Structure 1
């Protein structure tokens, strides 16, 4: 389904009418539970919250959900974002987790099918969360470099919107090599992606976005199944160069800074695979333009992300895909990208803070802002799950705090619900029983 919402208005905080208009579209509203399926809890939790919004990452999520199912009757409806979309989570938790509903930025671009087939052919499995966004991020960095004709961060920055936004010949993953050749000749290119059309707005965010509503499905290839998709449209904009000089017989350099280990290691491996695909496409084609890449493991930590970014910059990389999480992307953007004139494009950093960074236009992302995801989760919690009360249980960093706040404000102000508790937790704890007890408390 498609909703004509101006993203620029949503970002200014005046698009709530559009979000509220999703009522009745994210599920049909069945008797007593609000989801059309007759299986919602609708407040049957002994005075605790109807819905718990859990925000975190898979590695910590394993222990958190183990403790949840051990110490409660598992009767709460739980709503989670993309950070907990991990096919192995139910197996690790030893529960089918069917009381969990999630939202995640969708791969709904015009060339989604072409990318999916390409990924399956290369790796023999279905792509996962943020894999399309990872492919698109690297593809655009390569195209902007080809159009700039130099491994120069400022020149690449000025070409980012020229190769992504409307105005040139349209290309996608299926004919990506042709797009690189055209950009290297100085021709105008309009990349049409797998995750979205990949038009950037004036802040470097995707101008258009889509979200999947999903459930864990352990018996399927992907480990989850999409039960709805919500699409938002917005306007492209922002500064860019007046022309593309291009350049032949040269080597394009693009760094990849994504998590092979740590809290996001389980999903980061697929993101890295997707990020490598456009590099392989160009190098396998035997054109007069080649791509040199280097992967650094961000380890889902701030220090490793900064170290990896500095290693890539020292090696001469003028543009970097990543880091993945907002807690890592924001410090790298401030301390490396902006200060050293390096273009950074994250495929999965979604924190609201990214939009308003003073970044001199060096920071981009192919994943949409949590401003929308918080609203979507609140809508699903109220309308599909039938909740009138909620608590949030969130990882204690900028990603968790901001998304918890956005969910809470949307749930109360737009959905008329009540938030009972907002509880933070730290990554890597041996037990989460105490924070779970606080989140499920009725007081």
Structure 2
């Protein structure tokens, strides 16, 4: 019996400040909180102030050869305007996906040709299979983090089928068993057969669209693909995709040895993503992707199984996201795809998922603080941690851009500081580079001239 996808009715709106085009993602790695602030993954304003750390060495004119800028488009526009008014643009600038907005050069008034970016990419072994499914279902190309969203829901449904019950603890014990080697290879193309095999107690190994989806001890992907991109022609252009592996590419961590399985029942899953708010333009395609595996199972009913999916809107807000998560918990949902941003994901995990023994699997929350949660192994994600992104950025800055001295400019929240620190550590220790200054900036300032002046200064300034 096919089940309808349950959803609450929301007005579709996109916040005027920080609206994101299809070319970029502003803040799924630590999204804006309420009242325009980040507050390190919780509600409230920025932490305030700026911090400066100095190192040694110097660029050709006394300043650094490169800059790392970590933030969001709404503040990045003014920051880059001030940068180009103070510099001739000779520094190599590296940014993460939070600043991947193709409209920025036009808004800044500069082609930003000296800016290179990195971003998690859909580089899994079955990316093309997912792309075809999405295009066939919606008549458009999939957007950013849509493949990670599909993988999140597919893994949860496989784990639920293997567990044989809508029970968060039982599903948690199956997450690595069905995602990590070994067993029958399951892909987006044969998900229905994979769910039936899992329900019959067979070993399965899901190979995803976004990555191989092997979970490490923290519940993060053990390997990931990253896109290297540039601004071009009114948008962004992907230069290349590189695959990076963690210490245990086949995954690690505890899991069940077998699954009870079971047939002829309804599986339950929650979808907690932003339909509205600053990330609505990104969240809506992600919600579409989340519904594809649900539809696949409901149309085929493998082993007599069906899916009841309940969608709730985080509104790109920690408080609204927590309230929506509580709605899912009250409905008895055992596992959830979400939430999207780290600023929402951390409080939702701490206040709702973990205490209620609900499995959370975010497709786009990348902040290091997620890996550090005391989560009793209930929190997973199909998007790679900034622990890996920091290393990728350090390697790109050193080897691709040929830079040996940098300063970092980062938005003053957990996401910005943690990614700045991770980049700096790898850049100095593994690539022999020098970091002159690490400078925090607050969102929404009318001018960033002073922080840019500090970042561009020599090591002894």
Alpha-carbon distance between aligned partners in 1 of 2:331 and 2:446, rounded to the nearest angstrom: 38
* 1:384 equivalent in alignment to 2:389: no
Give the whole-Å Cα distance in 2 for the aligned partners of 1:47 and 1:115.
Answer: 49
Aligned to 2:414: 398
1:407 is aligned, of 398, 406, 423, to: 423
Cα offsets for 1:116-150 (capped at 9, x unmatched): 22223333443333221111111111111122122
TM-score by length of 2: 0.79
In 2: Cα distance, 1:217 partner to 1:284 partner: 42
Would you say 1:375 and 2:388 are equivalent positions? no
SS at match of 2:189: helix
Contact 2:121 2:241 in 1 (8 A): no
Aligned to 2:313: 297
Cα pair 2:103 2:234 within 8 Å, conserved: no
Aligned to 2:221: 206
Q: Using the alignment, how far apart are the partners of 1:203 and 1:332 within structure 2?
A: 17
Instruction: Report deviation, 1:67.
Output: 4.3
Write the distance in 1 (CA, Å) between the matches of 2:278 and 2:113: 22
Distance change (3 Å), C-alpha of 1:277 and 1:104: same
Q: Which residue of 2 aligns with 1:427?
A: 443
Counterpart of 2:343 in structure 1 is: 327
Which residue matches 1:77? 92
Q: Which residue in the other structure is 2:27 paired with?
A: none
Change (3 A) 1:182 1:61: farther
How far did 1:192 drift? 0.7
Residue 86 of structure 1 is matched in structure 2 by 101
Among 315, 338, 350, which residue is 2:366 paired with? 350
Partner in structure 2 of residue 177 of structure 1: 192
Of 32, 40, 50, 2:65 maps to 50
- Matching residue of 2:244: 231
CA drift at 1:87: 4.1
The aligned length equals 399
- Structure 1 distance, partners of 2:86, 2:281, is 26
Distance 2:328 2:90 in 1: 47
CA distance, structure 1, for counterparts of residue 149 and residue 105 of structure 2: 25
In angstroms, what is the RMSD of aligned CA positions? 2.5
For residues 342-377 of structure 1, what are the alpha-carbon distances to aligned partners after superposition, in whole Å with 9 as ceiling and x for unaligned? 101111222223323221110111122222211221
The CA deviation at 1:203 is 2.3
Shift of 1:69: 4.1
Structure-2 change in CA distance of 1:308 and 1:227 (3 Å):
same
The residue number in structure 1 matching 2:182 is 167
Q: CA contact under 8 A between 1:96 and 1:218: conserved in structure 2?
A: no
Query: Paired residue for 1:32?
Result: none
CA distance in 2, matches of 1:185, 1:92: 56
User: Relative contact order, CA 8 A, sep 6+: which one is greater?
Assistant: 2
Q: Write out per-residue CA displacement over residues 371-392 of structure 1, whole angstroms, 9 at most, x where no aligned residue.
A: 2211221121122222222111
Whether 2:290 is the aligned partner of 1:284: answer no
The structure-2 alpha-carbon separation of the partners of 1:427 and 1:267, relative to structure 1 and needing over 3 Å to count, comes to: farther
TM-score between the two structures when normalised by the length of structure 1: 0.82
Structure 2 unmatched runs, 5+:
1-57
- Secondary structure of 1:372 counterpart: helix
Distance 1:437 1:131, change over 3 A: farther
1: distance between equivalents of 2:321 and 2:212?
Answer: 28
Q: Where do 1:131-210 residues align within 5 Å?
A: 131-210=146-225
* 1:280 aligned counterpart, secondary structure: helix
Aligned to 2:26: none
Which whole-Å CA distance do the structure 1 matches of 2:405 and 2:144 have between them? 29
Identify the match of residue 125 of structure 2 among 110, 117, 121: 110
Secondary structure of the 2:229 match is: strand
Contact 2:176 2:254 in 1 (8 A): yes
